[in-house]
Amino acid sequence: MKYVLILCILFSIISCKRENNEVIEEDQIVEVVKEKSIRQINEELIKKGFKTFDFVDETTKDTVLMQQYFIAFLKRGPNRSQNQAEADRLQTLHLEHLGRMYNEGYADISGPFGDDGDIRGITIYNTPTLEIADSLANMDPMVKAGRLVIEIHPWWAAKGFHLR
């Protein structure tokens, strides 16, 4: 009986250890994260109204899932007559708007172009429809003030690939 009790205690100590040998306390929650399959990701996107397609990469033999995004070109608008203080205030509000779009999951990347052309920058919207992307882009204070106008196009990109 004594040996059984000792084995139970040893087993419980060993089973409560992490890979780095830290003991898990009773009140700690250990979260096991299982990576989703391409099929599961695709099903979730379709359920939310996104357009997708997949293909097999001939080199790696991996299935690549493509999702439709919307790329908004922020172009020079007709009303650029604001004084410097007003232009600066609008720029602050513009950056707050883009930050909010990113934080809320609607925009994945935004940024200005490095030249002084008519196309001032881009935002890539992660929305199921062009109408939603257009509505969000037109909420931008710079657009409302006429300093920028929006031109949106559907754009496809592979899920899980990052800029490098």
**Residue 85 is part of which domain span?**
63-158
Mean pLDDT of 68-83: 96
Say whether both 87 and 43 belong to one domain. Answer: no
Alpha-carbon distances, residue 36 vs 40, 68, 75, 128 (angstroms) = 6, 19, 38, 20
The CATH number for 120's domain is: 3.30.70.1060
Residue 153 forms part of a structural domain: yes
Polymer length in residues for the chain = 164
Say whether both 70 and 147 belong to one domain. Answer: yes
Residue 109 forms part of a structural domain: yes
Residue 34: pLDDT band by 50, 70, 90 thresholds? confident
Encoded tokens for 73: 């070109």
Residue 1: pLDDT band by 50, 70, 90 thresholds? low
Question: Do 105 and 149 touch, CB atoms closer than 8 A?
Answer: no
Sequence-ordered alpha helix ranges (H) in 48-139: 84-103, 130-137
Say whether both 38 and 67 belong to one domain. Answer: no
* pLDDT tens-digit map of 92-151: 999 999 999 999 999 989 999 999 899 999 999 999 999 999 999 999 999 999 999 999
Contacts (Cβ under 8 Å, ≥6 apart) of 45: 52, 67
Q: What are phi and psi of 92, to 5 degrees?
A: -60, -45
Say whether both 19 and 97 belong to one domain. Answer: no
